[in-house]
Structure 1
Amino acid sequence: MISQQTIQQILARIDIVEIVGNFVKLKKRGANYLGLCPFHNEKSPSFTVTPSKEIYKCFGCGASGNAIKFLMEHEKYSYVEALRWLAQRYDVTVEETEVSAEVKQQQQLADSLYIINNFAREYFSNTLFNTEEGQNVGLSYFEERGFTQETIRKFQLGYSLNAWDAFTKAALAKGYNLEYLQKTGLVTIRNEQPGDNYRGRVVFPIHNQSGKVLGFGARILVKNDRAPKYVNSPENEIYVKNRVLYGTYFARHAIDKLNECLLVEGYTDVISLHQAGIENVVASSGTSLTQHQLRLIKKYTNNLTILFDGDNAGVKAALRGLDMAIEEGLNVKLVLIPDKEDPDSYVQKIGAEAFRQFIADNKQDFILFKLQISMQDAGNDTTKKSQLVNEIAETIAKIDKTEDFTRQQDYIRQCSQVLKIDEQGLINLVNKFIREKLQKKEQQFSRDQEKNAPSQDDDLSPEAIAAMEAMENGGGVSDNFFNPDERQERELVKILLRFGDKPFSEEDQNTVADYIFRLPYDFESLADNEIVKRILREYKQMYDEDNLPDKKWFLYHSDHDVTAMVVQIMEDKEAELSPKWKEEFEIDTVYGDNAYLKDTISTTNYLMLRKIRKMIIENQQELEKSTDFEAQINCMKMHKHLKQLENELTNGLGTVIFR
């Protein structure tokens, strides 16, 4: 896991304007920066970055957070991936703690493979544009496919010379390890001689979500019955084919904005659609979809539309595999491209707008399409029809999320009508498959418990895992953060974070934090909100240790609830604490950076008054219930004392006495 020292170095260097500015065009407006929100479509900018608070806020869609949250939301990074991105950005050396020598060796190997792949990408691109063979063969091929130079450069396409070892010699001359070159698949050994694996082919780099090159696909340009049409990188420490979708790096923002992912089969399908302006598209590279790939799609959207070639003989086989998509909670639609066409040829034939309209008009529901195709195949065969009923029931049973109950019932109704079977009978069959699935999960859980199977995140601290899970799942704080009764509690946190180290008095060295924590009240106990209590407790502990924390400590806290709370507090507009303040307590409220002393007194007074008023009510209730004369006298004395304290606080007296 990343050491705390490294994390602190990263946090100390974060500039939220610089980070967000990498992805959003920002214009300075006063003390803030304004731009078009990257999380929803808008024509007028409502996305604001506030450097003094180190937060962003969109007043259109409500998106908000700190620099790390922005990277996680915009780039779909995990918490750790965002930290690593920032470390690379700010040239911070990442120190790992509790990492075995074996793990460290694997990390170093992965870094080496990335470096080699990046060199190869640049080499093949240079060969394509700056050599005679590259221009005459490779560039001509791409141009014949209708690709512009802008598109070619965007996808970083390249060409490998039709020579035995041109690339190999260049790589070895740069000092790259021959064993690692073989691992990447760029170099092969034949007759004990290293040579180029992609010679005479155009090259398609395959990127991960952050734009690093994981591997390559290389297409032959001359007909050769002895050679495969495509040669792909072998799986290694950084490239695992069933976890990758081609084009994700270029499509991720469009998928997120349009809330739909189009899935095609090949590299050129993706490139052609992107060039036509249809950018929410990725490719499975001719393989059946895997659970990892489906989860990758789900990071961006729940809506998956698969574009099949009309003459694709493997449609039925693919449909069987799509049950996994239903199980992952994806809404799956299918579109059949007309015969003898594929997405690449069809979009170039009819144009982008007509292609978009074709998709919109021809989307078919996956389950109903599967039912239709299977019924055609079953015909009047009773055995096949019986098998079909079981298959459809099993598919519907995979829709098991509570929020999809209505959708599941609708499928049961429609399918029973098409199949001409009793609806209750289909319901019973679906429930049977649901029970079987639950039993399998319970059995698997029991086996895992017995084996004490380690988690995939065992190399992370519990705090990091909690933060990652909460932030990746869009977790946040509860609605009670907006409870007006808790505004004063949040205001106290804001004062400590923004002004805790500021001088409270010109006459001595006391700070705002000194004033707050030396008052004869425990503000943690006065607070109702549990997250506020946690922040005040941790702040007080660090204060007692003479280690006054700044706002970054809490803004980038490992506890996501704390982070979310602080973001909300920091983005909160300076406003009156409560509409009833003036009316009930006759205390004027003045807010802003230049009025933090009045803010501090007003806020602490309010919290103490709130506590005293609760005590007055409780004392009155005790007086009413009491039948003992001495106890009644004590209650009346207590009432007088509490009312005196109330009057002093209301009049602003006794609030600057240090004890």
Structure 2
Amino acid sequence: MITQNTIQQITNRIDIIDVVGEFVKLKKRGTNYLGVCPFHNEKTPSFTVSPVKEIYKCFGCGKSGNTITFLMEHEKFNYVEALRWLAARYNIEVEETETSPEQKAIIQTADSLYIINNFAKNFFTNALMNTDDGRAIALSYLKERGFRDDFIEKFQIGYNPDARDQLTKALIANQFNKELLPKTGLVSVRNGDELVDNYRGRIIFPIHNNTGKIIGFGARVIGKSDRGPKYINTPENEIYVKSKILYGAYQARTAIDKADECLLVEGYTDVVSLHQAGIENVVASGGTSLTTDQLRLIKKYTNNLTIIYDGDNAGVKAALRGLDMALEESLNVRLVLIPDNEDPDSYVNKVGAKAFNEFVAASKKDFIIFQLEVMLQEAGNDVNKKSTVVNQVAETLSRINKAEDFTKQQDYIRQCAALLKIDETGLTNLVNKYKRDKIIKEEKKISQDEANQLMQEQAQQPEDVLDDTQLLFHQDEAHERNILRVLMEYGLRPWDETRSMADYIFEELEQFHFDNPSNEKLFEEYKAWYVRGLEPTTKTMLYHDDETIRNLVVNISVNPFELSQKWDEVMESMNIVNRDTSHQDVLLSVNYYKLRKVKKMIEENQRDIENASYEEFKLLHEVHRHLKEVERELTKQLGTVILK
């Protein structure tokens, strides 16, 4: 883990305008900056960045956060990756906390693999561009295939010479750990202990993770060759896990986000050729079956997946694999089959970018309907086979099981029933049967306690229509959040000669507790930081490692409106904008909060009085008298107040 000291250095150096401004064109408006939101399509700017509070919020789509969460959302980094990106930007050395020997060994191995891979990449690109064999054999082949120098450079394509151990010797000469070299896949062990190059005479395609680091390679034979398989890929190791990788995802991530669509092809050359044609929202599965992790990687950027595969039987079968998983991930999947025994690489070079785009747009087929048509064609007039098709389709449709996809599922049922020439109600019942069977099967896997917890969580979900109790809850929520706002904004300022504003708030609310657990959590966390002398503020707590706390701080702190500085120019004697109102703000916030709590206590006490015995009545009546005195005192301080 990255040490707290390093995180503190990073957060102290962060300039949110500098970082966000790299991705969004920002214009100063008042004390804040405004731009077009990068997370949804909008014409009128509603994306607000506050350099003072170091937060952003879009009042159109609701996305909000700090510099780190912006990088996590926009660049699809995880928390640690975002910290490392910022550390590199501000030249901050990253310190790690103490880890177990096993964890330390894994981290050291991963770091070494990254370094070895980067060295190998440089070796391969140099061999391709700056050696006689590379230019004569590999580069000339790439040029024949239509690859341009700028895209060879963009994807860092290289060449491993045909010599037996040229790369191996270079690695050893640079004192890389011999024991790690076979793990990279770059080197093979022969005759017991002899190390030789594994990718001899092949074109090399580096594979990047989502931060741009090279995690592995795909090595392709040049032309047609009987010497070994067409492609050799890196074996799985600490940094390369095949099921979690899509080739080209690093280069395509921004284009996918912008187009709100991901094109999926099979091969590395398909990706490069489509990029050359200006079609950049494309990734490759590397010829393997789609996995859940790969689909979730796509879903980070878009819900719309278009699979472009060869039109032969193998291409069709490859495309249909992973359909059920895609449906469970709520992806909208379309299929395009390239005609005439072509692949995306050859077809785009044959017809050109414009014709290719037009073909894709006109040829997109709904995945489920296409699958049904293929199965019906194979079944023919065989009644038993058709019955099997009905059951397979019903099982597939049952996997569309999220509430937000209900309308989509109903539309599929209608279309599939028409193609199958069966009753729509009957197909609906069959789909529901598969759903029930799946639920029963899953319920057997979990304990009764877990099932009860799940039911309790579902019961706590908010309804679409709020009753009076819920409305009161939301009003209470507003008062709680207002307390948190003034605490973070003014807490470290002096209240009087002996106390800070935080001290005053803690003392005044000692007998009161928040109803919302998240608000209570933030309040207690603030208090814990304050007691330890960590100086909690909106800025510092924005970088808390708890995502719930970070999000709550942002939502409490951002306001879509601010007073124009021109008020102070027009009303010089009033000092409207820059006047210090912190004491009044804290006092009113605390008293309003306490008054609301006291009124609720009075209402609860009155209900208890109605059902009380004589002895209980005397005690409750005394409580009522005391609460009314507190209410009168608070009302007097606030002036005439009416709270519903």
Cα distance in 1 for partners of 2:610, 2:438 equals: 61
Counterpart check, 1:225 vs 2:226: yes
- In structure 2, the CA distance between the partners of 1:9 and 1:631, relative to structure 1 (3 Å rule), is closer
Counterpart among 513, 516, 523 of residue 502 in structure 2: 513
Counterpart among 473, 493, 500 of residue 502 in structure 1: 493
8 Å contact 1:523–1:536 — kept in the other structure?
A: no
1:482 positional shift: 12
Structure-2 residue corresponding to 1:63 = 63
* CA offsets 1:516-574 (integer angstroms, 9 cap, x no match): 345xx317727555433333333345545655423345323344332212102222256
3-state SS of paired residue (1:503): coil
Cα distance in 1 for partners of 2:61, 2:432 equals: 39
Report the identity percentage. Answer: 57
Cα distance in 2 for partners of 1:145, 1:25 equals: 39
> In angstroms, what is the RMSD of aligned CA positions?
3.9
- For normalisation by structure 2, the TM-score amounts to 0.82
8 Å contact 2:598–2:627 — kept in the other structure?
A: no
* CA offsets 1:428-468 (integer angstroms, 9 cap, x no match): 4333333332333234446999xxxxxxxxxxxxxxxxxxx
* CA offsets 1:52-100 (integer angstroms, 9 cap, x no match): 2121223454321012321221122334444455566532212145x3x
1:392 positional shift: 1.7
Structure-2 residue corresponding to 1:119 = 119
Superposition pairs of residues 613-652 of structure 1, within 5 angstroms: 642-643=631-632, 645-650=634-639
* CA offsets 1:568-621 (integer angstroms, 9 cap, x no match): 222225669xxxxxxxxxxx9966574434433443444455556768889999
Structure-2 residue corresponding to 1:50 = 50
- In structure 2, the CA distance between the partners of 1:184 and 1:409, relative to structure 1 (3 Å rule), is same
Superposition pairs of residues 79-94 of structure 1, within 5 angstroms: 79-83=79-83, 85-86=85-86, 90-94=92-96
Deviating more after overlay: 592-601 vs 479-488: 479-488
Cα distance in 2 for partners of 1:160, 1:398 equals: 45
Letter in 1 for 2:348: V
Structure-2 residue corresponding to 1:346 = 347
Structure-1 residue corresponding to 2:432 = 431
Cα distance in 2 for partners of 1:332, 1:13 equals: 43
Structure-2 residue corresponding to 1:454 = none
* CA offsets 1:16-46 (integer angstroms, 9 cap, x no match): 3444355446566665455553323456765
* CA offsets 1:87-143 (integer angstroms, 9 cap, x no match): 66532212145x3x2232122212211111111112212232333333333333333
Cα distance in 2 for partners of 1:267, 1:633 equals: 80
Letter in 2 for 1:93: E
- In structure 2, the CA distance between the partners of 1:42 and 1:345, relative to structure 1 (3 Å rule), is farther
Structure-1 residue corresponding to 2:148 = 148
1:266 positional shift: 0.7
- In structure 2, the CA distance between the partners of 1:125 and 1:515, relative to structure 1 (3 Å rule), is same
3-state SS of paired residue (1:313): helix
Structure-1 residue corresponding to 2:97 = 95
Cα distance in 1 for partners of 2:630, 2:258 equals: 61
Letter in 1 for 2:252: A
Cα distance in 2 for partners of 1:441, 1:623 equals: 49
8 Å contact 2:37–2:46 — kept in the other structure?
A: yes
8 Å contact 1:481–1:565 — kept in the other structure?
A: no
8 Å contact 2:128–2:134 — kept in the other structure?
A: yes
Cα distance in 2 for partners of 1:154, 1:480 equals: 56
3-state SS of paired residue (1:77): coil
Structure-2 residue corresponding to 1:475 = none
Deviating more after overlay: 412-421 vs 189-198: 189-198
Letter in 1 for 2:552: M
Structure-2 residue corresponding to 1:329 = 330
Structure-1 residue corresponding to 2:314 = 313
Structure 2 unaligned residues grouped into runs of 5+: 451-469, 564-573
1:176 positional shift: 0.8
Structure-1 residue corresponding to 2:272 = 271
- In structure 2, the CA distance between the partners of 1:430 and 1:171, relative to structure 1 (3 Å rule), is same
Structure-1 residue corresponding to 2:547 = 560
Cα distance in 2 for partners of 1:268, 1:177 equals: 32
Cα distance in 2 for partners of 1:217, 1:624 equals: 78
Counterpart check, 1:163 vs 2:163: yes
Cα distance in 2 for partners of 1:591, 1:488 equals: 24
- In structure 2, the CA distance between the partners of 1:361 and 1:49, relative to structure 1 (3 Å rule), is same
* CA offsets 1:287-323 (integer angstroms, 9 cap, x no match): 1212222222222222221112123534135425422
Counterpart check, 1:569 vs 2:570: no
Q: Kindly tell me the number of residue pairs found equivalent between the two proteins.
A: 606
8 Å contact 1:557–1:563 — kept in the other structure?
A: yes
1:246 positional shift: 0.8
1:7 positional shift: 4.9
1:501 positional shift: 1.9
Counterpart check, 1:599 vs 2:585: yes
Cα distance in 2 for partners of 1:54, 1:497 equals: 14
Superposition pairs of residues 184-195 of structure 1, within 5 angstroms: 184-191=184-191, 193-195=194-196
Letter in 2 for 1:556: Y
Structure-1 residue corresponding to 2:571 = none
8 Å contact 2:64–2:551 — kept in the other structure?
A: no
- In structure 2, the CA distance between the partners of 1:11 and 1:488, relative to structure 1 (3 Å rule), is same
* CA offsets 1:235-264 (integer angstroms, 9 cap, x no match): 222212222111111122222333221111
Structure-2 residue corresponding to 1:461 = none
Structure-2 residue corresponding to 1:490 = 481
- In structure 2, the CA distance between the partners of 1:47 and 1:635, relative to structure 1 (3 Å rule), is closer
Counterpart among 515, 520, 523 of residue 533 in structure 1: 520
Letter in 2 for 1:490: R
Cα distance in 1 for partners of 2:16, 2:131 equals: 42
3-state SS of paired residue (1:52): coil
Cα distance in 2 for partners of 1:257, 1:160 equals: 36
Structure-2 residue corresponding to 1:107 = 107
Cα distance in 1 for partners of 2:259, 2:10 equals: 33
Deviating more after overlay: 217-226 vs 522-531: 522-531
Counterpart check, 1:286 vs 2:287: yes
Cα distance in 2 for partners of 1:482, 1:635 equals: 23
* CA offsets 1:152-207 (integer angstroms, 9 cap, x no match): 22211112223222222221111111221211111223455422222322210011
Cα distance in 2 for partners of 1:81, 1:30 equals: 33
Cα distance in 2 for partners of 1:30, 1:539 equals: 30
Structure-2 residue corresponding to 1:360 = 361
8 Å contact 1:590–1:599 — kept in the other structure?
A: no
Deviating more after overlay: 204-213 vs 357-366: 357-366
3-state SS of paired residue (1:439): helix
8 Å contact 2:3–2:95 — kept in the other structure?
A: no
Cα distance in 1 for partners of 2:622, 2:296 equals: 69
* CA offsets 1:209-232 (integer angstroms, 9 cap, x no match): 221111111122254323322222
Cα distance in 2 for partners of 1:481, 1:416 equals: 48
- In structure 2, the CA distance between the partners of 1:420 and 1:592, relative to structure 1 (3 Å rule), is same
3-state SS of paired residue (2:195): strand
Deviating more after overlay: 262-271 vs 141-150: 141-150
- In structure 2, the CA distance between the partners of 1:166 and 1:526, relative to structure 1 (3 Å rule), is closer
3-state SS of paired residue (1:210): coil
1:335 positional shift: 1.0
